[in-house]
Structure 1
Amino acid sequence: MRLFLFCIFSKYFRLEDLRVKLEKEGYSNISYIVVNHQGIASQLKYVYLKSKVSEHIPVYQQEENQTDVWTLLNGNKDDFLIYDRCGLLVYHLGLPYSFLTFPYVEEAIKTVYCENKCGNCSLKTLKDEDFCKNVYLATEEKTTEAPQPHHHHDHHHHRHHHHHHHHGHQHLGNGHLSEHPKPEAPDAPEQPPPSGLHHHHGHKGHQRQGHSEN
């Protein structure tokens, strides 16, 4: 069984670069799919958009008369929805966190790949387990080798990082969803993000109307 990355995303151009990078690092068997908007304007751009991604990333075009996938999954333009091997939603990243120039999407994929954020998934293979063990050991080595910061006794303000554990999937940016244990957020940039970190105890089937193509 594969680890699923499901993205509702209009800017596909960097997605292939990320796919190749992760594959070279050993993160294999990740499925990517782009869901195009249901509107007429988006349908007219389907062939063009499909030409902008590789054959490894299918672009799904919705029919006008079907139930809108964006609405069903509570997604907005430029959102990433990341599922684990067992099909459980772990991350829902919206703007600005879904910009691929930021590290959030990549770090979220790596977290879902190796950590059981939604409980133990029996579909992780022994090969995956060995790979993730090596990733963990490499991270530990880097942490051990990193120079320790100097401690200054002065009157400067000190930054405190708080990690909160919640139940339900994690949502960053604009949006909602699901009911599975939330992973901690990937480390935030030095600048505070434009929108806050939102935690939801959502319900399956919750819908939000009015998704724009623009």
Structure 2
Amino acid sequence: MTLPDPAAEASSPLGRRERMVLAAIAAALALLLFWLRGGLQPQAPLEQLARRSPELPLALASGRPTVVEFYADWCEACRSMAPAMAALESEHRGDLNVVLLNVDNPRWSPEIDRYAVNGIPQLELFDRGGHAIGRSLGARSRPELASIMTALIEETPLPPLAGVGSLSPLTGGEGPGTGPTTPAQAQAGPRSHA
């Protein structure tokens, strides 16, 4: 057993008691930070979906229908729709791809422009061949999402829901699968809050 060295304690600016108090405060702050960041809770459904989302080119070339959701972390409608999207994505895994593209990530700027995203959530709907066949604007309930996904998988017409429509085969010369662009679409971007 070694005895404390009085010379070493004298040279230390903090005594043993002060070091213990500082260690306890540091541990309490670490626990508080851990708790504030969610502790051991699993990620929210939106983050789970985004993390397991396949790359867009791979999804479109997979031979499965694809739903592309343009979203943002701060979007309450996107967050409220996420549990249903996550559940349906799990149910249809292998039959359908779900790809999430965050409008706040500059990496997706070309896709935001290509698909004329001017509000979120916006779903772009693709057939098995990777061709854009429809679009859904705004938040969707689980039954609405299920009917959209079922129509894509079964290759039947999209359901007649407000804000859901098929895309015209005429693209206005903007490139394949871009769909028509209206003056309203050209006015504001998804981050403009217009």
Using structure 2 for the length normalisation, give the TM-score.
Answer: 0.46
Higher relative contact order (CA 8 A, sep 6+): 1
Determine which structure has the larger helix proportion and give its number.
2
Q: Which structure is larger by alpha-carbon Rg, 1 or 2?
A: 2
